[in-house]
Structure formats: C-alpha cells, structure tokens
Amino acid sequence: MKRKKNNEKPRRTLLVVTASEAQSLYFSQMRKDCRYTNMTVLWAQEAVTLEDLVKEAYKARIKGRYDSTWCVFGFHDMGVDSQQVRLIAAFAQKKKVQLAWTNPSIALWYLLHLQSPRTPISDPAIIESTLSSVFPNFSNSPAYLLNEGSSLHLKLFSAKAQAAVNAGSYNALVQQRGSDLPPVNMTKLLTEISDICGTADMSHNQKLIGLKNA
C-alpha cells in the first residue's frame, strides 16, 4: 500500500531573543497562551550591549535555522539612545535580524493596552506607577511575572488591537516633539508573529481575564 504524499508545507519558524529576563517571560506567556508552537523565545543573558544582543540572535538563528529572528529590547534596559539604535540597525539587517524596541521599557507596551499617553514618558518608574493602579504590585521584573503577573499577557490579550492603535498615536505624538525614532515598534513584531504563527488558539483558556478584573 502506497503512503499518501504529504503536500502540506512545512511551517515557518520564528525566534524572539530578548535583552531581559522579564521580556523573555512575557513572550513565553504569549507563546503558551496562544499556542504558538513554532515560536521560540530566548533570553540573551550574556548580552551586555545592543551589538551583543544582535550577535546572540544571529548565532541562534543560524543554529536553529529560523525563518524569522527578532531582538526585543528597551532603550532604558540596554542604556541606548536613538542614534545607537540607528547605527546597530544596519548591522542587524546584515545578520538578518530584526529589531523590536520600546522606549523606555517594555512596560510602555503594557501601558498602551490601556491608554495612549498624552505626553512623552522617558522615566520607566512613571509607567510602572500607572500600571500599578490597574495591576496591584506591578513591577517590571521577572519576580512579578513569575508570581502575581503570571497571567499578565492573558489579561492584556483582549486589548491587543487597541494597543496597536495607541502605539500609532503615541509614536506620532513623540515624533512631533522631535524624536527621530518611534518610541515603540512592537506592532511590527506582533504582525510578524501573526503571519508566521497564525491565529492565536485560546481554546484551552476557559475564559479570558478582562482588564477590568485585573
């Protein structure tokens, strides 16, 4: 008996390499919540500079033969400014690594699920304080995401589309004030995740936890 030929195309794979452990935990929550089985999340623990981060992502891309590779970082976390990011972007492009950033920190991305700030925010502490009013004991730390914040992505999930809208508004606001780079380009990564990983499978979550119940 002849075996049927498998005409299904192999699924593309995506690698997300983060600059911090907290970022890694958040994207790991996303992977688990949405059942993105062809998405891999790695924390570049040894990366000190932005160039180190890109190099680590490049090595992992080659080793794992990933179709798409992204570095995630916050300006404040890596101690970089817009000029440094622009300089590293050309290097990353040569390594076939794409960049997804938040300025000052990934907590800005969480906040954009709730609101679009009316003024530019450069201090991560201000963002964390605002988030604490919605998520008790919020902290942009691994400890929070491993405990009280273990369902943070799930709580934010229903507002994902609004986060993209708010990001666009906030980027326009900040760039009108003279910034040469948008403070957040996370939506590009989210679009890539959807393109490669497909629609999120939330069926194993009996019900989404709404923001109002956070």
**What pLDDT is recorded for position 202?**
87
Give one DSSP letter per residue of 160-208, joined into a string.
HHHHHHHHHHHHHHHHHTT-SS-SB-HHHHHHHHHHHH-S---TTSSS-
Helix count (H) and strand count (E) of the chain? 10, 4
Quickly state the pLDDT bin for 157 (edges 50, 70, 90): very high
Mean pLDDT, residues 28-55: 97
Quickly state the pLDDT bin for 167 (edges 50, 70, 90): very high
Q: Is residue 8 scored above 70 in pLDDT?
A: no
Quickly state the pLDDT bin for 212 (edges 50, 70, 90): very low
Cα distance between residue 154 and residue 156, in whole Å:
5
Q: What percent of the chain has pLDDT over 70?
A: 91
Query: Tens of pLDDT along 184-211?
Result: 999 999 999 999 999 998 887 755 544 4
Query: Which 3-state string (H, E, C) describes 110-127?
Result: HHHCCCCCCCCCCCHHHH
Report if pTM > 0.95.
no
**What pLDDT is recorded for position 97?**
98
Mean pLDDT, residues 126-134: 96
**What pLDDT is recorded for position 58?**
98
**Structural domain boundaries of the chain?**
14-198
**Max CA distance (Å), the chain:** 70
Quickly state the pLDDT bin for 57 (edges 50, 70, 90): very high
Query: Tens of pLDDT along 17-29?
Result: 999 999 999 999 9
